Chain A
Amino acid sequence: MIDALELVVLVAAAAVALFGVVTTMLNRPPGRPHRLVVGVFEALLVVQAVIAAARVFGGVQLPEQSTFLIYLLVSVCVMPIGLQFATAEPTRWGGTVIAVAAIGTGVAVWRLEGLWAAGGV
């Protein structure tokens, strides 16, 4: 897709996951810092999804277009749902829930890159 942005997104996913696990270890329930961190990460994901979707609908041909678009949708949906689920019961484990969501999102982005590369763009 866009190599630089993809790298930033993957590093951000790893950072969010680390942040979540650390807050669990420090016994901190999810709060304002978590919402802020997830918000920044989500903003990056939305930018990436908008650019990628624009290029696909703008004529870039991919071998597995529908799969690509589903992964793209998943990549922006998981973090808000994960944050909601993490904050619904404010225990220390909320941070790890956010970490799981970030890892899942990271894997989706990784797959997106593979599907994009298969298009030879």
Chain B
Amino acid sequence: MSEPRAPRATSSGAGRVLIAVYAIFALSATARAGVQIATRFSEAPVAYLLSGLAGVVYILATIGLAGSTPGHRRLAWGAVGFELAGVLIVGLVTVLDTGDFPDDTVWSVFGRGYGFIPLILPFVGLWWLRRTGARR
């Protein structure tokens, strides 16, 4: 139905709103994990390392979405895909068994502590990457 077209920039128009949301999550998740790891790492090493990993994934997604090269696009696909897997797996594990995970990672209980935005965000990200991508 639609004509073939070259990929459009992910960082233009409404994409800038998405990048702003990712940037805020990158900042808050990384800063929070930094404080947790620096001040009380031994209390819950797994959860805090996971917080740190989530922060890094949000940073990579922000960079990927903000950039304009095919490499940036691949980075964004990888980071947002990992984010989706992360929030689903950690969400499921924390719903089934809260024992090993304190509730303070971004992805715990599907991101309940963050208004479930961490659950919605990767779907929006993947949709946006697909929408702006090349069409054959």
A interface vs B, CB < 8 Å? Answer: 64, 66-67, 70, 74, 78, 82, 85-86, 89, 91, 93-94, 96-97, 100-101, 104, 108
Contacts and interface: CB of A to CB of B under 8 A. Distances in A.
B86 to A, nearest CB: 21
Given A67-B32, A70-B35, 18 more contacts: A67-B35, A74-B27, A78-B24, A89-B16, A91-B12, A91-B16, A93-B14, A93-B16, A93-B17, A94-B16, A96-B14, A96-B17, A97-B16, A100-B17, A100-B21, A100-B24, A101-B24, A104-B24
B39 interface: yes
Interface residues of B, number: 17
Contacts of B20: 82, 85, 97, 100-101
Nearest to A96: B17
B99 interface: no
A91 B31 contact: no
A120 B24 CA distance: 29
Contact of B16 (A66, A74, A86): A86
A70 B27 CA distance: 11
Contacts of A74: 27-28, 31
